[in-house]
A and B are shown apart, each in its own frame.
Chain A
Amino acid sequence: MNTISMAFKNLRKNFSFYALYILSVSLVITVYFAFTSFSMNNVMLEKISGDGRVESMCKAISVFLIAFVIFYMSYSNRFFLRRRTKELGIYALLGYRKESILSLLISENIIIGIFALVMGLVSGAIMHKGIVFGTTVLLNLSIDNAKIPFFNFIAVADTIVFILGVLFVLALSNARFLFKTSLMDLVRFEKSAERSMKFRKISALLGFILIIVGYGLALDIFRGNASLWFSVGFYPTGLMTAMLIVAGTVLFIASFLPYAAQKSKRHKKTFYTETKIVTVPDFIYRIRSNAKTLIMLTLLSAATLTVSSVMALSLFYPIAAVARIAPSELEFRIEEEGQLSGAKLLVSQYAPDNSVTYIQTDIYKVTASAEKLPMEYSVGTSKGSADNENIFREAGFECISYSQYVSLLQAQRRNDIVGKLSVLQDDECILVKYQPNADGSNETGSIYSLNIHDGSIPLTVKATTLNNPISFANSIGTMIVSDNVYEQIKSGTVLENSIVSINGEGIEDNEKLFEDMSDLLDNSPYLQGHSHRVNEIMSASSSTFLLIGFLVVLFFIATGSILYFNNISAVSDSKADYEILSKMGYSNKKLKKILRKQILTFFSIPFLFGLIDCIFATIVYKTGLMQDLLGNTITLYFPTIIAVALTASIYFIYYFVTVHTCYKTVLNA
């Protein structure tokens, strides 16, 4: 029988086994091809990157990608070779020369490679189109889809050459393995790890302690300025924490977990049960023989989760902050006569008048006296104290009336906030905060005396709010006073500013209108637009996120597939064990339970560790590196929660598939 037809026969016989291999290799090719197509897609790159930033990022990622593809393909090759070794040994015993066995192996790999390449190229092309479509919609780009080919032939050639190159190198390494291994070792190539082992108490404890210290150090950031993060510095402390946690994780998995499992055997009541007596020793054995893989997976999944959570947070945060930075769809300061009517005329060209609201807010600035005035009162009055403006501002509260506040909020469709308001008394005010006080204090209850021409009005702060109705570009230190007090202030104070806020569905997300408005107002820095701001953020950061997204997907595929192969290989290696258990009287139900538990443990170690690391890293990132414009609302963590939930569901799918493949492997025996 010639080797090609033998290889085909083999493939057919073990279809499900090879289907998996093909599927996993084609998955990697899909990602690789989609990425290569993307980085060669000039139509797209021109749109999202003006300065070559995306191109250089693509280069960096492609290094990662190539490393990953090589690693992944050699891992799965080794895995499949391991599974085939005994069979190959038997061929050798039967008198096949090693050369012909090698050519069998290579033919198999070529067939698999061709299948995987075809599948990978097609699904990669589809994925690439999907990415282009997604980006176009997300960024509102105008792109002629017809100009982007389904198959970019240079990318196809690149992928084919690269994959064939990898396959060639793998064939060489298989050949080396085959010729170096003796006949007997081939046949006896089974689990050979030491069964009896030492348990190192000290490194187990050390692992535990390092992790706790690492997490403690991360939590230290909550002490604010007193913490090491500020006194020693953010980056050295961050590096220290990361090193402690990585070292701790290594020891925890390699020493602490087997040690703890060994100790748990002492608890006879739980250990001498039909499930535990099998799963606990199996766990100890597997974690000892797979510690390296497991540590790598854990670190990989911690990195993946952290990157995706931080990424989600740092994309979401500025967008969520737009509600504060530009609360109205369009907002500007009247600097010249006639600007309001000009603006109205302009807007009417884009939207029917009845779908748009115009609110003019007159702001009066008054000085005040009090024991202690809030930071907002004097912000921007000396150089460098305001965040990004170098325009001097005179100290004072910028007063608007309660009814103006309510109608602005309504126009901005923030009715949930309006619903929670209650009418202000004449001796009360609401203070708009720029950001929450770092020490967690609050001005509520403070009394500020507003100085007006004929005396002073003492006002008690009824509440502070982060829901500013006017952008910071146009008003800081905004104070909302009752309508009566407002009238009183108005009669004797010079008008500070008149702000026009334009809202309405008819003008939403209209870049053209914004441009025209900007022209009309001579590029005034006081023009702010909600949608405009969102679009700006999206187009500035989306390409970064797209590319990091690629990496994250890659990491997911890597972790999931390695977990998958590792479990399948462990379970099929001990197939005989399950047969014995079945003969002893373990029902299929009990065997399934044992399998599920064994697999679940292996999936949960990287996931849970990754999750905890991600939570701590996100906390540190949020507390230490992000501006606190929004306060600590749960909504802020939504993207993180979604990222974690997505990860969890990907893990779950992999777990589910793994469990079912294992059921099939064991119970069909």
Chain B
Amino acid sequence: MPTLLEAKEVTKVYRKSGHPSLNKVSFRVAEGEFIGIMGASGSGKTTLLNVLSTIDTPTSGNIWINNVNLKSLNHTSAADFRRDNLGFIFQEYFLLDSLTIRENIAVPLTLQKLPPKKIENMVRSLAERFGIASQLNKYPGELSGGQRQRASAARAIVKKPSILFADEPTGALDSSSATELLNTLYEANKELQTTILMVTHDAYAASFTKRILIFKDGCIIKEIMNQGNNRRDFYESIAAEITKLDSAR
């Protein structure tokens, strides 16, 4: 598989004297991968997501997505880059409250100036896949947390981004809603070939991915591959790995 994203010696220092939040991080993500980022709170996961997604700029190092060096982007071209290539899911659902679910999912498509007919069709078919077709005319306030998070996942995926960034998307969900969302992401990755980079500190959520990078103090300290096809086995090995790391503290 060709490389979609490459980070090389990426460092981020917020305060000059302080410890770097990211310390010479290098890795690659291939097209179609579902990758998990794990680590304790404060280990630099959100910081990584922010610099990868052009929302923040690294202090040093280079990042390429689709062979574009993010350094070469200014404010406006970064916005266009996000519009054309990136999708986001956050821990809080971050839907626009005054828009219906349909309108919320449609926003990224209007930004790409697609014709209305096409927008409506894309929104409907994705909503069906995500199990929220009957909620399209409702407002976010009328939905459950799980439905809202699936709506925001739909909003992120609908424009077929090159890569989808998810920052603890299950963090605010109960376990069954979390499972539904993870299944949806898993299927989107499998069937639509959406590349996903998901931050989580939950071993269960991480077990839906194919590869896991474990962060500590701004560095990747471990990589775990999903060897087989059995999610349960992968879960066990992640859990074991985390316990090992914890006891090493």
Residues of A within 8 A of B (CB): 191, 194-196, 268-269, 271-274, 276-278, 281-282, 284-286, 574, 576-577, 580-590
Q: Identify which of residues 73-125 in chain B touch chain A, using a CB-to-CB cut-off of 8 Å.
A: 75-76, 79-84, 86, 88, 94, 96-100, 103, 106-111, 113-114, 116-117, 119-120
Contacts of A574 in B (CB 8 A): 97-98
Main secondary structure of the interface of B (DSSP, over half): helix
Cβ of B75 and Cβ of A580 under 8 Å apart? no
Q: Is the CB of A195 within 8 A of B140?
A: yes
> Which of these, B88, B100, B116, contacts A584 with CB under 8 Å?
B88
Q: What would 16 A/B residue contacts be, using CB atoms closer than 8 Å?
A: A195-B97, A195-B98, A273-B110, A274-B111, A276-B110, A277-B107, A278-B96, A278-B107, A285-B98, A577-B96, A581-B96, A581-B107, A585-B81, A585-B84, A585-B108, A587-B80
The reply to whether A272 and B110 form a contact with Cβ atoms under 8 Å apart is yes
Of chain B, the residue at the smallest CB distance from A197 is B139
A580, closest chain B residue (CB) = B94
CB–CB B110/A281 < 8 A: no
Q: Which of A196, A577, A583, A588 contacts B53 (CB under 8 A)?
A: A583
> Across the interface, do A277 and B55 meet the contact criterion of CB distance under 8 Å?
no
Known: A584-B82, A585-B82. A281 touches B113 (CB 8 A): no
Q: Beyond the given A269-B116, A277-B99, A584-B111, could you list 13 further A-B residue pairs with CB under 8 A, ordered by the A residue number?
A: A195-B98, A268-B117, A272-B110, A273-B113, A277-B107, A281-B99, A583-B53, A583-B82, A584-B108, A585-B86, A588-B76, A589-B76, A590-B79
Residue in B82, B97, B109 whose beta carbon sits within 8 Å of that of A577 in the complex: B97
Chain B residue nearest in CB terms to A269: B116
The 6 closest A-B pairs by CB, nearest first: A585-B83, A268-B116, A587-B79, A285-B98, A195-B139, A585-B82
Q: Which residue of A lies closest to B96 (CB)?
A: A577
Asked if B119 contacts A196 (CB within 8 A), the reply is no
Most buried by A among B53, B75, B97, B106: B97
Option from A195, A272, A282, A587 in Cβ contact (under 8 Å) with B76: A587
Q: Separation in Å of the A559 CB from the closest CB of chain B?
A: 25
The yes or no answer to B141 lying at the interface (CB within 8 A) is yes
On whether the beta carbons of A272 and B111 are closer than 8 Å, the reply is no
Once the chains are docked, how many angstroms separate the CA of A588 from the CA of B80? 11
- B interface residues, how many (CB within 8 angstroms): 36
Nearest B residue (CB) for A271: B116
A277, B142: Cα distance in complex, Å: 20
CA separation between A378 and B80, bound complex, in Å? 81
B binding-site residues for A, Cβ under 8 Å: 53, 55, 75-76, 79-84, 86, 88, 94, 96-100, 103, 106-111, 113-114, 116-117, 119-120, 138-142
Main secondary structure of the interface of A (DSSP, over half): helix
Report how far A585 CA is from B139 CA in the complex, Å: 23
Q: How far is the CB of A539 from chain B (nearest CB, A)?
A: 56
> Of B80, B110, B139, which is within 8 A of A196 by CB?
B139
Chain A nearest CB: distance from B109 CB in Å? 8
Instruction: Determine the chain B residues whose CB is within 8 A of the CB of A268 once the complex forms.
Output: 116-117, 120
The docked-state distance in angstroms from the alpha carbon of A363 to that of B64 is 99
B113 contact set on A, CB distance < 8 A: 273-274
**Chain A residues with CB below 8 A from B82, complex form:** 583-585
Q: Shortest beta-carbon distance, A524 to chain B, in Å?
A: 75
Q: Choose among A276, A278, A576, A585 the residue that contacts B94 (Cβ–Cβ < 8 A).
A: A576
A195 near B86 with CB under 8 A, answer: no
Say how far B113's CB is from chain A's closest CB, in angstroms.
Answer: 7
Cα A604 to Cα B37 in complex, Å, equals: 49
Q: In the complex, which residue of chain A has the Cβ closest to the Cβ of B117?
A: A268
Is B84 a contact partner of A277 (Cβ separation < 8 A)? no
